[in-house]
Structure 1
Amino acid sequence: MTDAVGAGGAAGGAVPPPRLREFAAAVLRGQGQVTFLPSAAAGGVFCLALTAAGWEYGLYGLAGTAVGTVTARLLGAERDRVSLGLEGFNACLTALGLAAVLGPHHLSTALLALAGCVVVTVVTAAAGNLLGPLGLPSLTLPFCLTASAAAAAAPGFRRVWHQGGTPAALPRPAAGPTALGAEDLARGFLSGFAQIFLAPQWYVGALLLLGLLVASRRAAAVACLGNAAGIATAWALGAPAAGIAGGMAGYNAVLVALALCGVFLPARAATLAYALLGAAAATAAGPAVAALLAPSGVPVFTWPFVLTTLVFLAAARSFPRLGGS
């Protein structure tokens, strides 16, 4: 399950020691695990994509993943989980979420993100212990819980609340006309990948799609189909064109499609159809979640993905053709 690393290492100073290489690989896999990919190569491309969104976000994402990985290791988490990046991806998203909500340029944001990455590691263990006996994964639930709590509490603390940070970087519902042009579709498709990491830029999404292709062409294909299903659903329901062009219709759909076809359910025709149904459901659920969270000022984050995937995975046990157990 883990990449073997030689115990001897190289004598030359140019080659990092084995433990450092192992840690670096685990951190990169942690970034890849945001899209269920235990791939250091994909994680490296994702890190590049975040840096393209802004060097601060690249730093927050990488440092957050590293803090989560170190915390889990120090607390004695299973070595395979740490090595595969399963203890890093929620911390990565937590750091990015807090940077987006509070603004990345403040020392208080960096300190709170550091604390959040430690806390989310504990929340990850708690969520795993609660959902594990039910046969359900925790997904990004730890990130959603931690980041939502921090975002809701932040306005009450003057030393961490700086006029709302940079809300434009967060997934939020849009208003306006529904007419959708070719440029809106193209931008929306690519931005749908970018919004997984809370970034709105289409070119960031293009790099993230490249990372998916580097790790798994099958996963990239499923992600593209899920993205398309999300956009089609949003358009059919009359979602504002600005929201679709900003990636709001795609990012939850991408994650749901990946989870339900090839990760937690086998990859085959029946599960692909089921996954695309889930992708459509998550897209439709997005505005409902946004409305519920609006009074608290908490962004949507990946709540639609988490809730939809848990429901569809629980239901899959009743459908033998899906391979649910």
Structure 2
Amino acid sequence: MYSAPVLPGETCVPPGGQGHHAGGGWIVGHVTGTAGAGGAGGAGGDAVPPLRPREFAAAVLRGQGQVTFLPSVAAGGVFCLALTAAGWEYGLYGLAGTAVGTGAARLLGADRDRVSLGLEGFNACLTALGLAAVLGPRHFSTALLALAGCGVVTVVTAAAGHLLGPLGLPSLTLPFCLTASATAAAAPGFRRIWHQGETLAAPPRPATGPTGLGPDDLARGFLSGFAEIFLAPQWHVGALLLLGLLVASRRAAAVACLGNAAGMATAWALGAPAAGIADGTAGYNAVLVALALCGGFLPARAATLAYALVGAAVATAAGPAVAALLAPSGGPVFTWPFVLTTLVFLAAATSFPRLGAHRRGAGPAVG
């Protein structure tokens, strides 16, 4: 199993405990079962002791790390720097969004361990970034809407946990996708928040452009695939994000790289335009699927690596399908291919004993 280093002041719980996943390896992450291990699990009506400033800051950084399933303060810090490299506004949106989601969850009485591990922050981080990307980060209305969205996604996270938890499935970034997609679709109907001119809605169109890839395209696409996880297109942002993965877990970084490569290879084999591969959009969902299925929710072993790479290829192929479905409403793809693919593959995994998945109620998997 992968093992992210526990830094001074960090906490970790065993697989199957409070966290995102039910028995993976190297993260404490996106599993949703009971109220405590699901969305914003309640505290039983008891008084909610506040997190100390240092604990809260660590929880916020872990929340950014949890976007890639890593409850690591160090990784979260590097990710914060990476977002700032994309533009100071995006660094601020990511950090503030994570803080608002973390604070809102704790204020509502969410389980203290979940909050401390960053499990209530990562969807809020992505929601803030997603709304900034769609609506424009420098508008005051965008900032207000992003803050409100981060509070709303905390509630959606709890709801998703209670709905998916009994099925033994994680909510992943589904709360972010639901909140951001609904807001993006509704935004053109409100003049005070829509500043982009014409709506982004358009009928699906066939892919166009050359499919040949040069070395520059491959290098740029590989690094940008990491950047697009946080909705950033710049290759140097992706390089910093890969560094954050390496800081937290070299094995996780290796799986992420293999997933990225599988996504790019699939897109090329299917004839995706070179521009769509070079900008990273062919790889980011594949990265997340690979991390989730090999070491995240399933134990890290040869069988799950192969399973994860198949999932990465499927998520890449699903990207244009999701884009076509969302095009009439003008909604971006976000991480929908990752969410849908991972849920299907995790639901199926309990039927394949070699993957090490356990049926609901059978306890954590052992890698």
For Structure 1 versus Structure 2, the TM-score category normalised by the shorter chain is: over 0.9
In structure 1, the partner of 2:238 is 205
- Quick one: which amino acid aligns to residue 267 of structure 2? A
Pairs within 5 Å for 1:310-325: 310-325=343-358
Aligned residues: 308
In structure 1, the partner of 2:112 is 79
For 1:192 and 1:163, the matched residues in 2 are separated by 26
Residue of 282, 288, 298 corresponding to 1:249:
282
Residue of 315, 324, 339 corresponding to 1:282:
315
For 2:206 and 2:179, the matched residues in 1 are separated by 21
| Segments of 4+ moved more than 6 angstroms | none
In structure 1, the partner of 2:262 is 229
Residue of 50, 63, 86 corresponding to 2:83:
50
For 2:281 and 2:184, the matched residues in 1 are separated by 20
More helix by share: 1
For 1:2 and 1:164, the matched residues in 2 are separated by 47
- Quick one: which amino acid aligns to residue 179 of structure 2? T
What's the CA shift string for 1:39-98, capped at 9, x where partnerless? 010000000000000000000000000000000000000000000000000000000000
For 1:173 and 1:39, the matched residues in 2 are separated by 41
Contact persistence 1:124–1:142 (CA under 8 A): yes
Residue of 61, 67, 75 corresponding to 1:28:
61
Whether 1:181 and 2:214 are equivalent positions in the alignment is: yes
For 1:70 and 1:107, the matched residues in 2 are separated by 21
Listed as ranges, the gaps of 5+ residues in structure 2 are 1-5, 11-50, 359-367
Given the two structures, how large is their TM-score scaled by the length of structure 1? 0.92
Contact persistence 2:322–2:336 (CA under 8 A): yes
Cα–Cα, structure 1 residues 103 and 164, in superposed 2: closer, same or farther, change >3 Å?
Answer: farther
Contact persistence 2:153–2:179 (CA under 8 A): yes
For 1:58 and 1:239, the matched residues in 2 are separated by 31
For 2:81 and 2:229, the matched residues in 1 are separated by 15
What's the CA shift string for 1:4-63, capped at 9, x where partnerless? 58xxxxxxxxxxxx8111000000000000000000100000000000000000000000
- Residue 265 of structure 1, CA deviation: 0.2
Whether 1:89 and 2:122 are equivalent positions in the alignment is: yes
Residue of 150, 168, 171 corresponding to 1:138:
171
Contact persistence 2:7–2:73 (CA under 8 A): no
What's the CA shift string for 1:221-265, capped at 9, x where partnerless? 000000000000000000000000000110000000000000100
Cα–Cα, structure 1 residues 303 and 158, in superposed 2: closer, same or farther, change >3 Å?
Answer: same
For 2:86 and 2:353, the matched residues in 1 are separated by 43
Residue of 135, 140, 143 corresponding to 1:110:
143
- Residue 145 of structure 1, CA deviation: 0.1
- Residue 176 of structure 1, CA deviation: 1.3
Listed as ranges, the gaps of 5+ residues in structure 1 are 6-17
- Residue 175 of structure 1, CA deviation: 3.7
For 1:173 and 1:315, the matched residues in 2 are separated by 32
- Greater RCO, 1 or 2 (C-alpha within 8 Å, sep 6+): 2
For 1:176 and 1:208, the matched residues in 2 are separated by 29
For 2:169 and 2:342, the matched residues in 1 are separated by 9
SS at the partner of 1:73? Answer: helix
Given the two structures, how large is their TM-score scaled by the length of structure 2? 0.82
Contact persistence 1:99–1:113 (CA under 8 A): yes
What is the aligned-residue RMSD (CA, Å)? 1.7
Whether 1:273 and 2:276 are equivalent positions in the alignment is: no
Whether 1:305 and 2:344 are equivalent positions in the alignment is: no
For 2:237 and 2:206, the matched residues in 1 are separated by 20
For 2:167 and 2:217, the matched residues in 1 are separated by 41
- Quick one: which amino acid aligns to residue 85 of structure 1? G
Whether 1:127 and 2:160 are equivalent positions in the alignment is: yes
- Quick one: which amino acid aligns to residue 159 of structure 1? R
Identity among equivalent pairs (%): 89
Residue of 292, 305, 320 corresponding to 1:259:
292
For 1:29 and 1:197, the matched residues in 2 are separated by 15
Whether 1:147 and 2:180 are equivalent positions in the alignment is: yes
Contact persistence 1:174–1:242 (CA under 8 A): no
- Quick one: which amino acid aligns to residue 224 of structure 2? S
Contact persistence 1:2–1:83 (CA under 8 A): no
For 2:321 and 2:246, the matched residues in 1 are separated by 32
- Residue 282 of structure 1, CA deviation: 0.1
- Residue 3 of structure 1, CA deviation: 6.7
Whether 1:41 and 2:83 are equivalent positions in the alignment is: no
For 1:190 and 1:321, the matched residues in 2 are separated by 32
Residue of 97, 100, 121 corresponding to 2:133:
100
- Quick one: which amino acid aligns to residue 71 of structure 2? P
Residue of 52, 70, 74 corresponding to 1:19:
52
